[in-house]
Structure 1
Amino acid sequence: MARPLLPSSQKGLLLELKGLQEEPVEGFRVTLVDEGDLYNWEVAIFGPPKTYYEGVCFKARLKFPIDYPYSPPAFRFLTKMWHPNIYETGDVCISILHTPVDDPQSGELPSERWKPTQNVRTILLSVISLLKKKKKKKQEGKRHFHATLLVREVSEKPL
């Protein structure tokens, strides 16, 4: 009996998943949320050493559109965290996850945005580079980190 043909996006995602499982990106582990759904991936992200995130394991989701790789996937942290490029919802704000439109308000060039030649590996490397910002000098870093936590705590309290 012949195997059913997979849409090209599923073939590509299957190849990417196998490649990432055989040769993983350092600091990440990827699996399918549901074995029958190649469009939803679970990502485990291990906080890079010598950063504020060291020793923390974050969970995230990658959701792929049917027309992947022509449109970018959505990347969302499921673990609550604070980072200037991560919204309260967990959505990640990085240029390569934005569709390539000319939007002068964004501060991004279309060339910095998603291209079909990019892949999950480039997304993971971009996310880990966000988290790799080194700790500042001990006291300066601690003050900055605690001030950030305080601002966030105050801003989350209802008035």
Structure 2
Amino acid sequence: MATSSAQTTGAARLLTKQLKEMHTEDISGISVGLVRDTNVFEWEVILMLNDDCKYYGGAYFRAIMTFPPEYPHLPPKLVFQTPVPFHPNIYPNGELCISILHPPEEDKFNYEHASERWNPVQTPETILLSVLSLFNEPNTDSPANLDAAKLLRIEREGGPKEFRKKVRKCVRESLGED
């Protein structure tokens, strides 16, 4: 899809508005800002998981959310920075795998319905709230990190707490304790 200058300008205006809205609303557990003041298409995100999170405690995870010039018609990409959370829905390289960030096209594997994929009504706020929810309820049905999904399934079935151990190590690293 070719991107016009008008489309890019419209996307930049929308992102500026959405960033401003997120700064005026106090959204628990989410902090956003621009990576560079000159680029509204690249946001730094800090997710603060509290101790009540099912992801085994408080942590601070930093991510970069990159928006395409075609936004809101195409989804952004969210990539966690070091330390990358050990999570079934986060690839080892830090890229988040969540249905709402998949392009709004038919799923060639017939795993997801079109209604589960990207829709322009999504906003950075709804995306990040979904990510926080994913930390509480990881999806092991279509994992990005097979090791994390396998260990979580074993743990849910009453097996050893290896998933929990790896997550706690990751949480400590996120807090600068390792």
Q: Which residue of 1 aligns with 2:164?
A: 145
The amino acid that maps onto 1:81 is P
Q: Which residue of 2 aligns with 1:98?
A: 102
The amino acid that maps onto 1:84 is P
Q: Which residue of 2 aligns with 1:123?
A: 127
Q: Percent of aligned pairs with the same residue?
A: 38
1:144 CA drift (Å): 4.5
Q: Which residue of 2 aligns with 1:24?
A: 26
| 2:118 match: secondary structure | coil
Q: 1:105 to 1:76 in 2, by over 3 A?
A: same
C-alpha separation between the residues in 2 aligned to 1:141 and 1:55? 22
Contact 2:85 2:167 in 1 (8 A): no
TM-score (norm 1): 0.79
Q: Which residue of 2 aligns with 1:47?
A: 49
Match of 2:76 among 57, 63, 73: 73
Contact 1:62 1:74 in 2 (8 A): yes
Larger radius of gyration: 1
1:106 CA drift (Å): 5.0
1:96 CA drift (Å): 0.5
Q: How many residues align?
A: 142
Contact 2:56 2:164 in 1 (8 A): no
| 2:130 match: secondary structure | helix
Structure ranking higher on relative contact order (CA contacts 8 Å, 6+ apart): 2
Contact 1:47 1:53 in 2 (8 A): no
The amino acid that maps onto 2:106 is D
Q: Which runs of 5+ in 1 are unaligned?
A: 1-5, 150-159
1:93 CA drift (Å): 0.7
Match of 1:62 among 52, 62, 65: 65
Is 2:118 the partner of 1:114? yes
Q: What RMSD over aligned residues (CA atoms) do the two structures have, in Å?
A: 2.6
Contact 2:34 2:42 in 1 (8 A): yes
Q: Which runs of 5+ in 2 are unaligned?
A: 1-7, 139-154, 169-178
C-alpha separation between the residues in 2 aligned to 1:83 and 1:143? 13
1:24 CA drift (Å): 3.3
